[in-house]
Structure 1
């Protein structure tokens, strides 16, 4: 709202009778030049009077001109609304210098304009002094206030004629032949302004004389800001949408049966099973919600959604009706899939709502005798125009992704945050006081108060705000900063959002409830085990699953030394063993730990541990250096110089792909004993490099 705007607010009551706005706002005893007759301003007859809330009929609404005056919001009546009242009477009712009143829920100071404590010189037509008085500064517009009219010379001269009556300035302020009491008292009497000219000043009227008119002024007191939260979203259907109670819905036909089904559901304990019985032919029918029209703002955008699963009907879908008789409606996308629940939705625009006299959400099916479909999770959310335009167009706002962006919420089933979920706090706040600094704040469970945004209000435009929190490690974070302590699992937590202005005003608290689900680490099959004393590397098979479906990393280690680390696949069987090079370095006779650690993408981890002691029943040697080869080695010769005890068992192995992670070892013992070259059977190298290594093992005889 801006200076010069016409505001229709409040209704004048004389006694208990409401009075129409005067249409001939001048002296009730005189017909001014060019006027059609006497004025029709209601006369004061010693009855009680007050300004009440705004009446429905326009004729009873008082008209005001808004003036933003040095930070004050004034509403000045555009005419005198009560005639023949004394200044003393107004003062006895605290209507001269002001008293607090409430009109349509807004608080104001109800008072008179200041008119000056003396005239300028000896000329009553010259205006009042000091020049800072409100009549001359605002009504006569000597301050040059943008949005207000400026009087012409005819409006200011000492001649009264029909030009004055019909002038733009008089039609705006209605000063012609209408005295207006001012606040000011002088030695001569009380100040009245107007009547003979726009600037006319007279201070000779006695406070007890009933010659003045009452032109009220409302000075707006600070209005507390209001706040609307659009995220976390609020389902306008509330608990009705959870499909746990068929009595919340109205059927369009007696042939329709609505029952609860616990086997085919998406949320809670049940869905609603829709079926046709006794009709005898195929028909499209449905069931509808209570009327939601009173809950929506017709200037805003909405989306209605339902999860539906077809049974054996032709189709199942969502529908929205905009008329009480169901004659104006929009159908959602029709679903035929009988294997799972899918999303059907209807977009609702201000155009749809403009002429609506009701707003109901439907579940609809096209079905024949004995056919059925399932519905669960009805919801309707307010959305921004930008989001509205994306729905059904942007791939991120279609199908299951649309359902994920607008999940079903129910005040009896709190939103649940799991590891990595974002928790968006978004909406708008409005402060009608131009220039107020408005701060949006939030807290969780009565904890520390945090600011979301602060902005200067222009008195009209909503101030939008948004804050994205992330649930990690059992806390909510703003970026890298925790804003909560560890949140208990399985209990209700409360988000509280409000706005405050710098004048002490505060919006009502808006709350949303949520619960948290702790991140479960990946589960490793089997159990911890002591393998006892072993002489060869163990081979252990295992699988890993993650119940949340998060990605995870597997790390296998011996005594803290990594064997391998790799990205795991849910449910895939893996094999843990100890590479030969690491095995032969393990000290015999002491306890060793072989571990599997699975760590998910949010650092939750689990560990499986196997203990053992290594027993040595022979000697094992291996070359550490790799003999290089430019191409695939096809044969090699190895001679062993030394003493081998009688009865010992000799084993010599060789590989030609020693650069590979898992080389192909081949037994060349007999070739060495015979002093002949060994011919390799392996022809593959996963590393793309070739090279030779040897292993020698001497074990006691049997």
Structure 2
């Protein structure tokens, strides 16, 4: 199968002791001009740090001027990346071989594994002519760089690129601009057949030139042109959800969905993700068949300031409001390959309690039950429940409607039981479906010119004692009271048909003051049973002391 040219690739960078180097812009000998007028070369010099373990090809730098350039060629089952220039001068063949960089060392660039090696270039010249190319002729230098194999897309050297004269025409030629052989030898793999202490070189004097150099020799005109063999194709990942710049509020789902692909049949592919710099977690894994994408889906929930996968806290900390958070998703295979990372930004809004209109208020001293209008909304649109209370006792509780006007007041039976001259709190509580509550409070002190009470039939003992099968005929009421000067009993009323919708009240004020019983005049009821109720009202009048009603007694038959 004929080789196929796939174009130029920018990949990786040359690192010296961890510091990325600029890609040479004058990739020829670094001691003098190869020909007048082109200037001295600027290839990094190995002798500045003569330790090949400190010179590495690593991840692709952000600065374009530091990225290495490669010609990508599909050669049968292999994919080759041939560097377009020498990237390190003054390095010997032995220096390279000591790090297995002649016949191949596995390296990783951007998560992708490659076999880093030298080109083959022939073990001798061809037919005794150094300008005729390498022998055997099926070497990679002559196949690809000299383009003795017809490969569409690769430049063909002209006669001036191949002649015995090195000049500026060679330097500026299309072929040299693609391969940068001008004025710089490239080490190749082979041992010179004429002397095992020497290794083959290519280029420098012409595009096809073959020569040799001592295996341990370091020269300013000889250098390292690496070749990368793609060992394992890194997987790729496509993220269809979430969209970028989402905003999450309480209870929202954050869906991570997409697919991963790996062209290497049989590779185990695992899709992973993390939030910010949190723990890396797996979403899904599968075995690639080389063509069918592996789908993945994960649904996270934002709850109580955190992202959760079921009961698992993904980040382990509250996600701050008002700042960008980052989801990162990528795929890895079991051969060391890693896809590019795909990121999505998002923000969060912590769940907030419902908002009750108005403000807390002190109503002062009042004599009538207060009535306050309000409305409730929920910032996140969550359902909410409204509960109205007096001194912590529920008046009513109901499902709220956003923005609807509501009125809180105190029913008469609760109002008359409130202590006088004592602070009280009328509250409205709104609780959303996530459990957050806000409260509006109205404080007041109840003041009365009268004491008024009836029997409390919510009390089972009272209800049982005063509910009768037979008709009550008489009743005696005694009041345990203190009435300072200026106060008076305004009335005492009784009925024997308290269960009726409209009881028949009878006045027995005079009887109470005289300490006598009262004979009921009513003999009718509409309810099932008879029941006695007592209604007492005491007027404070002009009294300056406190009026007290400590209790009552009596009898009936």
TM-score if structure 1 supplies the norm length?
Answer: 0.39
Kindly name which structure, 1 or 2, has the bigger radius of gyration based on alpha carbons: 2
Which structure would you say has the larger RCO, counting Cα contacts within 8 Å and 6 or more residues apart? Answer: 2
